[in-house]
Amino acid sequence: MNKSILAICSFAALAGACVTDGMSSPRQAEAARIDLASDAAGAQGLRPLGDAALPDKSCGMILWTLEGVRPAAVFRFVSGKEAEINIAGQPVMLTRTEQDGAAGFGVFERQVFESEDGVTVEVSARFGLGFDGGAYLEKGLIKVRDDQGWSMVAPTAGIAGCKN
In a domain, 29, yes or no: yes
Can you tell me the distance from the alpha carbon of 35 to that of 151, in angstroms, rounded to the nearest whole number?
9
49 falls within a domain: yes
**According to the model, what pLDDT value does residue 11 have?**
38
Which helix or strand (DSSP H or E) is residue 30 part of?
A: helix 26-30
Query: Whole-model pTM?
Result: 0.77
Closest CA to 113 of 82, 149, 79: 82
What's the mean pLDDT in 67-73? 85
pLDDT-based confidence at 7, cuts 50/70/90? very low
Query: How many domains, the chain?
Result: 1
What's the pLDDT score for residue 10? 39
- Tell me what pLDDT residue 21 has: 38
Share of the chain above pLDDT 70, in %: 74
Whether 117 is covered by a domain: the verdict is yes
The predicted pLDDT at position 37 comes to: 65
* 17 compared with 49, residue with greater pLDDT: 49
- Burial status of residue 132 (CB atoms within 10 A of its CB: 0-12, 13-18, 19 or more): exposed
Dihedral pair phi/psi, residue 6, rounded to 5°: -60, -40
In a domain, 98, yes or no: yes
For residue 41, what pLDDT is reported? 55
- Return the half-sphere exposure (C-beta side, CA atoms, 13 A cut-off) of residue 60: 20
Q: Could you report the per-residue pLDDT of 145-155, keeping only the tens digit for each?
A: 988 888 999 99
Mean pLDDT of the chain: 81
For residue 153, tell me if it sits in a domain.
Answer: yes
Q: How far apart are CA 110 and CA 122, in angstroms?
A: 7
Q: Is 67 exposed, middle or buried (0-12, 13-18, 19+ CB in 10 A)?
A: middle
Q: Is residue 76 part of a domain?
A: yes
Provide the residue range defining the domain that includes 95: 3-14+25-163
Phi, psi of 119 (to 5 degrees): -80, 130
Residue 19 lies in a domain: no
Evaluate whether residue 20 is within a structural domain: no
